[in-house]
Chain A
């Protein structure tokens, strides 16, 4: 019997494992399906990681290695090349690996840290042929940074998510021609700094309010059609077609938390985040099962993944040591005014000390605005925000006393000044 099994050896799982040992758990296992720890960080060779957590600028592999080194100082059992196939409600974890075969291991607590996957062409239903050369940006990143191959010579990128922007620069440096980055919305979903240093630096046009409306090429991509879209309906405007002769189309059109294991285990999922519903201690609807990182909701900064994972691991350690906590009153966290979701979705104020971090996103670009947290018609908390956009996750720290003063639910709302 393990105290804790962590599923996923990316940034969330690594931070959770280290934290769980700090919190005094004894038998801890971390399962990683790849042959090495680090998850997606291994292919994110660009810099910009760690500014919040380590106060220095690291590349993805460097950020991962910090935690891998910390993990080496512990007795956490690391099982790489190990795929978890099933989690039962009794916290039996079914796993398979070439080295150890098919095994079922039981744990007192489980942390879900499986990360997310990229939305593919099907999710967008882009019309046209089905040639080779349409890749998700992450798959292309793996080909280039890990395998040392290029996905093509002339590239159009659909979506301005961070991976797409990073790949625009990466491929340009590798000698490919990146013709355009095409974004459906009137704003980019990536970080501003990436637009500056990945597109502007290399004169790659960013076509906002545009989308790819056709792919042609029988065997390999030969051309894509790009059309302007109506900002209200998001439908292409006839007559605005531009044609790009290219052999590659990269898709950077969103990430989806990977929760098939969670769903099969009977864990309740939030249709907005596509991750589990969690309490303020990151516990899911299945007692003793916690979630953190991109499996819970998609993050844009790894530093926040690390912090969330530490929060989940500390709570998992409590759970193992003391059993299921008395929840007392449970506050539902509701949203209003352009806030699309919150994590956590439920808060138990009874035992809270210090501040509780609530993360959320907004559904449009906000100028100077305030985040207002209220309960019923009482405003409990406000915080000014100079600027918010959907591409940047927002956080507020809610003091324990205001949460204890709330009744039934709190509502997190964005109000533009």
Chain B
């Protein structure tokens, strides 16, 4: 039996996952909690958020112009890949205009998730 705090939503349900019974989850209030509980014990995943550099080429520098564009992985990726993802994100950059959802790194670290922009930058 493994006890967890669900991180799917701010409610923070206290989950119990039974490894000896096909990872049955109890204590959850919703389906998403069950999915989380199972995954957390078998193959934990996280959404990674960070920022990438906004290329300024040719633009007049201005205090109000964005220099960083916030990004996220479009889906949760394996926990073990977080720091690899961070390295890839550090090397990445975007050129404005950027729209929310624009793919910056497809299939980041070979996962099914893309790195996408989370802000519109003109």
Which A residues are closer than 8 A to B by beta carbons? 35-36, 42, 45-48, 51, 57-62, 65, 144-148, 173-174, 191-193, 195-197, 201, 300-301, 392
Contacts and interface: CB of A to CB of B under 8 A. Distances in A.
B72 A192 contact: no
Contacts of A392: 10
Interface size class of B (residues with CB under 8 A): 20 to 34
Interface in B72-122: 72, 79, 82-83, 86, 100, 118-120
Contacts, number: 77
B49 A193 contact: no
Interface of B: 4-10, 12, 46-51, 53, 64, 66-68, 70-72, 79, 82-83, 86, 100, 118-120
A60 B71 CA distance: 11
Contact of B46 (A144, A192, A197): A197
Given A47-B49, A51-B9, A59 B70 contact: yes
A59 B72 contact: yes
A45 B9 contact: no
Nearest to B82: A173
A51 B49 CA distance: 17
Contact of B100 (A65, A148, A300): A65
Contact of B5 (A42, A65, A147, A193): A193
Given A35-B64, A61-B119, A65-B100, A193 B7 contact: yes
A147 B69 CA distance: 10
B10 A145 contact: no
11 contacts: A45-B50, A45-B72, A45-B118, A65-B119, A145-B51, A145-B68, A148-B68, A174-B50, A193-B8, A193-B10, A195-B5
A65 B120 contact: yes
